[in-house]
Structure 1
Amino acid sequence: MNEMKKISREDETADAPHHDRAPEAAIAAPADAMVDETAVITKRNLKRIMLLLAVPLLILLVGGWIWINSGKTVGTDNAYVKQDITSISTQVNGPVIEVDVKEGQRVRRGDILFRVDPAPLQVALANAQAQLAAAQLQTVQLKTQASGTSGDIVGGQANLSIAQRALDRQNQLLAQGFTTRSAHDDAINEVEKARAQLADARARAANASAAIVPGGNQPQVAAAQAAIMKAQLDLQHAIVRSPSDGVVAKADRLLVGQTAITGLSMLSIVRDKAAWVEANFKEGDLARMHVGLPASVSFDAYPGLKVKSRVCTIGSGTGSEFSVLPAQNANGNWVKVTQRVPVRICFDQTPPRDMIAGLSAKVEVELEQAR
């Protein structure tokens, strides 16, 4: 029993320090937890403050970089590929008897496109040649008539001399009383008649001489020669040739038997080697733009393709000024609209892809000075 009591006392004694240290451990544990929690809160607040400051700073940096570099180029997507398109028509009327090209065919300058029936034109040439022969015959007749009038003048002068001598004799005889008054009057009449005939011969000679142009180029002959030249030109124009290198377009409407009319377009030739881009820049983009600045052109039809180019010309008027009905702002209903000026962009190199008139493009022009 005593041993059991002793053991129980020892157990109580051993347990006594644990009960005494429990309050101290309880006090120390909350203090450490509070320090750790304060450190975590401080770190969280620091991260939150840094994040709040970083976002505006990043925005300012990005905005500043964009603003600084935005003045180096100016661009527009209001741009289109342009090409020289020649509308082909005939200079003579007549039915088409032959078509030598088809849609999309490449042709060179001088190649035959189509032919017009030359038969009526050949008839016109023959008629002009006949007119020339008639004019030449008329010229010969005028020259012959002029030569004949010269003989008439000589004969008239001789007749006048004879009549004048006869009158002189009649005057002498009348003074001596050996002739009659009637014979004297007849002599006077013969002199007047000879003078009239001489005047008529001289007038006819003057008219014949006036009808003959010095140098032999008679108006009738010149007119006939001009008619022959026109008939020959019409025959040449009956064969329609390509005025330049290019691609045939709208040839599907040209058919054999169709009547060709002067001034009516029959087909078109697109000069694919002379393509450029017409970019319509806003008027505010032209402050630092001038001819010769480098540019790059990209195309909606060819993604990834960029062609080095340059500014060739800057339009002398806005697009609205060259429209069919320009805007009239004098009526008081005026609303300011940003105008666009056409700028021609020329390629520095031949594009690797085929240029098609009307393709949409995007143009970036490099300015000399940034902001």
Structure 2
Amino acid sequence: MAQQESDKKKISSKFILLLSALVIGGGAFGFYKWQYAQNHQTTDDAQIETNITTVTPRIQAFINEIRVKDNQFVKKGDTLLVLDDTDIQTAVREAEAAVAQAESGIVSAEAQTQASTSTLPITQNQVAAMQANIEAAKAKLWSATQDYNRYHNLYQDHTITKQQFEKAKVAMLEAQASVKALENQKMATQGQTQSTISQSHAVGSQVAVAKANLERSKAALASARVNLRYTVITAPISGYISRVDLQPGQLLHPGQQLFNIIEEKVWVVANFKETQLEKMKIGQKVMIKADAYPEHEFEAKVTSFSPATGAKFSLLPPDNASGNFVKVVQRLPVKIEFTNAKDEMLKNLRPGMNLEVIVVTK
């Protein structure tokens, strides 16, 4: 009997010791967690972010050569695509010829200012020829105006591109300018038959018209040369190519999305609850672990806070002033940048990867 009571006391003592150890251990662990929570803020609602640039053509042309492929790294200025420039080369040569013609027109007009004031009056045949040129220019203007009206309706229906509509508009404006230039030239030339003074004014008007034609031709040449440069599409930034789905001979349109360039530099956007922000400040140390590499810890720091919560940027932001109000804890995006540039694991991070972020607020 005494032996049984002795065994019960031993069991009771062991149980009390075990219970005490559990209580002390649990209390210590709880105190550690509480103290840790006072100096750290944690979230797993975080992802890798970077700049994504869309590559688009500025002119309508066919693809001649594709010099990149999926996942390839390119540097800023590298050639990505080469477009067919046959039509644009022709436009450049036509514009150069127009400039040369306009320059010769100025030389001719200026030569007339030095001619004798006893120049013979203009003949009826010359007047008839000028009028014929004016009528021909008016016919071109009528045709260009009709084309513009048709293209305007098609553009409103989104049947044609903006570039085609703008070409029709430019053609109409050029035709209007041609009619006006010829009429001014006729008026200036006819003025020679009135008097020496009127002859001087007429010649001056011809020079002004010739100079205006030269400026217009130079503008057309500059536009054609710019379009020629656009036939070579280069990388606007350094990064990795993504989603190249193109074929040689494919027709491209201005503004068409071709593929993306993913910038090499990455950062973190972590969404913290508004109740976690009290002790968080810019410059605080951050420890990051990626789900893809759980054994590696990245070093970083807090660099900025979003000016609004994530819900305010959503497609349908909540409006608590209407309907039933339900309080929901909001999350604020916090930008975090890596501080250890020598970390070789950084190049393995890709935009969209999930992370666990711990901010040291002590």
Alignment RMSD, CA only? 3.0
How far off is 1:77 after superposition? 0.9
Instruction: State which of 135, 140, 151 in structure 1 corresponds to 2:117.
Output: 151
1:142-181 superposed matches below 5 A: 142-147=109-114, 151=117
CA contact (8 A) 2:56 2:254 kept: yes
Say which SS state the counterpart of residue 50 (structure 2) adopts.
strand
2:246 equivalent to 1:254: yes
Say which SS state the counterpart of residue 305 (structure 1) adopts.
strand
C-alpha spacing 1:38/1:324, structure 2 compared with 1 (3 Å): closer
Instruction: State which of 351, 354, 359 in structure 2 corresponds to 1:360.
Output: 354
Partner of 2:333: 342
Partner of 1:108: 75
2:282 equivalent to 1:270: no
- What is the rounded CA distance, in whole Å, between the counterparts of 1:243 and 1:197 in structure 2? 58
Instruction: State which of 223, 230, 243 in structure 1 corresponds to 2:223.
Output: 230
Say which SS state the counterpart of residue 263 (structure 1) adopts.
coil
Instruction: State which of 205, 210, 228 in structure 1 corresponds to 2:200.
Output: 205
Q: Percent identity?
A: 28
How far off is 1:44 after superposition? 4.6
Say which SS state the counterpart of residue 131 (structure 1) adopts.
helix
- What is the rounded CA distance, in whole Å, between the counterparts of 1:212 and 1:314 in structure 2? 63
1:323-342 superposed matches below 5 A: 323-342=314-333
Instruction: State which of 236, 240, 258 in structure 1 corresponds to 2:233.
Output: 240
2:47 equivalent to 1:98: no
Tell which deviates more after alignment, 60-69 or 123-132: 60-69
- What is the rounded CA distance, in whole Å, between the counterparts of 1:344 and 1:84 in structure 2? 14
Give 1 or 2 for the bigger CA radius of gyration. Answer: 1
1:82-102 Cα offsets, whole Å, 9 max, x none, are 122211111111110111111
C-alpha spacing 1:304/1:38, structure 2 compared with 1 (3 Å): closer
1:308-335 Cα offsets, whole Å, 9 max, x none, are 1111221111112222332222213222
Partner of 1:160: none
Partner of 2:152: none
C-alpha spacing 1:209/1:106, structure 2 compared with 1 (3 Å): same
CA contact (8 A) 1:152 1:198 kept: no
CA contact (8 A) 1:94 1:116 kept: yes
- What is the rounded CA distance, in whole Å, between the counterparts of 1:212 and 1:313 in structure 2? 62
Say which SS state the counterpart of residue 328 (structure 2) adopts.
coil
Gapped regions of structure 1 (runs ≥ 5): 1-32, 154-195
C-alpha spacing 1:334/1:142, structure 2 compared with 1 (3 Å): farther
C-alpha spacing 1:333/1:144, structure 2 compared with 1 (3 Å): farther
C-alpha spacing 1:366/1:211, structure 2 compared with 1 (3 Å): farther
Partner of 1:322: 313
2:49 equivalent to 1:86: no
Say which SS state the counterpart of residue 361 (structure 1) adopts.
strand
CA contact (8 A) 2:117 2:199 kept: no
C-alpha spacing 1:54/1:298, structure 2 compared with 1 (3 Å): closer
- What is the rounded CA distance, in whole Å, between the counterparts of 2:316 and 2:212 in structure 1? 49
How far off is 1:60 after superposition? 3.3
Partner of 1:185: none
Instruction: State which of 90, 94, 101 in structure 2 corresponds to 1:127.
Output: 94
Which amino acid in 1 is paired with 2:211?
Q
How far off is 1:234 after superposition? 1.3
- What is the rounded CA distance, in whole Å, between the counterparts of 1:197 and 1:315 in structure 2? 74
Say which SS state the counterpart of residue 51 (structure 2) adopts.
strand
C-alpha spacing 1:101/1:45, structure 2 compared with 1 (3 Å): closer
Partner of 2:288: 297
CA contact (8 A) 1:318 1:342 kept: yes
Say which SS state the counterpart of residue 254 (structure 1) adopts.
coil
- What is the rounded CA distance, in whole Å, between the counterparts of 2:12 and 2:73 in structure 1? 75
Q: How many residues align?
A: 289
Q: TM-score under structure 2 normalisation?
A: 0.71
Say which SS state the counterpart of residue 98 (structure 2) adopts.
helix
